[in-house]
Amino acid sequence: MNILVLDVGTSSMRGVLLTHAGEELTRKQHFYKVSYMEHGCVEQNPSDWEHALYDIVKELSAEARERAWAIDAVTMTAQRSSVIPVDRSMRPLCNAIMWQDKRTNAICEALNAKNEKIFSLCGSRVNPVFSASKMTWIREQRPELYRKTSKFMVIPDYLNYLMTGRVCTDYTYGSRSLLMNLYTHEWDEELLGLFRVDKEKLCELVEPGSVCGTITEEFSGLTGCPAGIPVITAGGDQQCGAIGQGVVKEGVLSVTAGTGGFLVTAANEVPKNLEQDVICNFSSVKGQYILESSVLTCCSAFDWFRREFYGDCSYQELNEAVAATPIGSNGCLCVPYFQGRSTPDWNNMAKGIFANVTLATTKADMLRSLLEGICYEIGNGIDTMRKYLEISDIYVNGGLTNSEPFNEIQSSVYGTRIIRRGKADATARGALMIAATALGVYESAEEAFHVIGANDDCKVYVPREQDVLQYRACRAQMNRLYRNVWETT
């Protein structure tokens, strides 16, 4: 069985045709651009995703016919909180308001007093990244547009409609809206009232891993994709990425050090002692939840430092500079909140700091301190996760994990072994695992992971005890510095 995985990212859409055992047959990728505007507004024309969808599926279908490969099903995973208002004909009424958009800061600040109630119902604090406040902004600032809106969709909802003609959204996207009840699995009347969103403007909720429709004759005629094959919703990109890394049961934690950092672990139920220092959402695995923590800048901070201080220096030279610098960076300390802090306290005002800088400090010291600071903050997130669940395995991935020195720092800062899997595309592989399980190829996502990942190369990093102790002291110093600067302002 061959499954076409559509992975809808922030900068591009990829289509990957995979066998149910995980063998890649072919792939296509189309790039597009997000529009960054004044006052923190971030938008994108929905036609970008529409054109990318049709082009990718058309190209892949043509190659599949030429090579006699079957396409037996389609599945999709996508970025989670960008909002598209559509009319009765399901056509977009305006540009999508993207997940990075900050125009709703004032709306969110006005609701901060309700954070305890909101978190108790949906598992997330009020924040502009989630989709609900974007809908509120449209109601308050564009009332005519709100009246014309038949449905608020996130990107995968819209693309799913184009393929199947069905209007629905799965739990993983619903739980990133602040409007879905974590316990009833339904849109919550109290949350809808707080955000002033009409229930009829929201899509039908379905479980991730559900067959949400079949390819229509119209879509087939435009793309060559076989009509009548099932389309499965695999859930959000971070959920699928974690599953591709092995987060298919409790006790496994995925750390993705990409543009930002994401920590995801699975939970069989909502923790009874759940506090507002994590996000609790639905997993792509039916019946499971995930706990999420995040770091807003990882590769983005590293790339900034490289660009500003090292110019055209190669990554190999940077790794050598980091490896040659002693742990603790000769006393230099970095607080890595270059775009604010997310979990646990959602401090948008926090900034990056280099401290303990002397006339003897080198740029290599500062570079290593930046990487150490990122690991300290990820370590803070891991400690928070351990309040709720016992963590037995930590899998790492993302751009920064291409650096051997960074992985060695990670292991010693976290005080435990970490595992880096050799296969890339964890997000697409996670979506494949969910889809293949939904189609009955595997009995569970856990079985799918063990079969598909059986031949992956894995590298294990083990902490050095003397480094663990030194890093523990450095992390405590960074946390004190953060509290001294930001908790007193």
Q: What is the DSSP string of 138-154?
A: HHHH-HHHHHH-SEEEE
Phi, psi at 437, each rounded to 5°: -70, -45
pLDDT at 489: 54
Using alpha carbons, select from 371, 373, 352, 360 the residue that is nearest to residue 330: 360
pLDDT digits (tens, 9 = 90+) for 368-401: 999 999 999 999 999 999 999 999 899 998 889 9
Residue 419 confidence class, pLDDT cut points 50, 70, 90: very high
The answer to whether the CB of 2 falls within 8 A of the CB of 69 is yes
For the segment 130-152, what is each residue's pLDDT rounded down to a tens digit? 999 999 999 999 999 999 999 99
Reported as a single tens digit per residue, the pLDDT across 63-73 is 999 999 999 99
pLDDT class of 339 with cuts at 50, 70, 90: confident
What pLDDT sits at residue 88? 97
Domain ranges of the chain: 2-228, 237-421+457-489
Q: Taking all residues of the chain, what is their mean pLDDT, rounded to a whole number?
A: 95
More confident call, 190 vs 312: 190
Tell me: domain 2-228, CATH 3.40.50.620, correct? no
Please report the sign of the dihedral spanned by the C-alpha atoms of residue 478, residue 481, residue 487, residue 489.
Answer: negative
Residue 118 has pLDDT above 80, yes or no: yes
- What mean pLDDT is predicted for residues 89-112? 95
Tell me whether domains 2-228 and 237-421+457-489 share a fold: yes
Residue 82 has pLDDT above 60, yes or no: yes
- pLDDT tens across 276-315, in order? 999 999 999 999 999 999 998 899 899 999 999 999 899 9
- What is the per-residue pLDDT for 1? 96
pLDDT grade for 5, boundaries at 50, 70 and 90: very high
The predicted-structure confidence for 228-245, as pLDDT tens digits, reads as follows: 999 999 999 989 999 999
Fold classified for 237-421+457-489: Nucleotidyltransferase; domain 5 (3.30.420)
Residue-wise burial string across 364-384, b where 16 or more C-beta atoms lie within 10 A, e elsewhere: bbbbbbbbbbbbbbbbbbbbb
Query: How far is residue 457 from each of residues 258, 343, 452, 454, measured CA to CA in Å?
Result: 20, 32, 12, 9
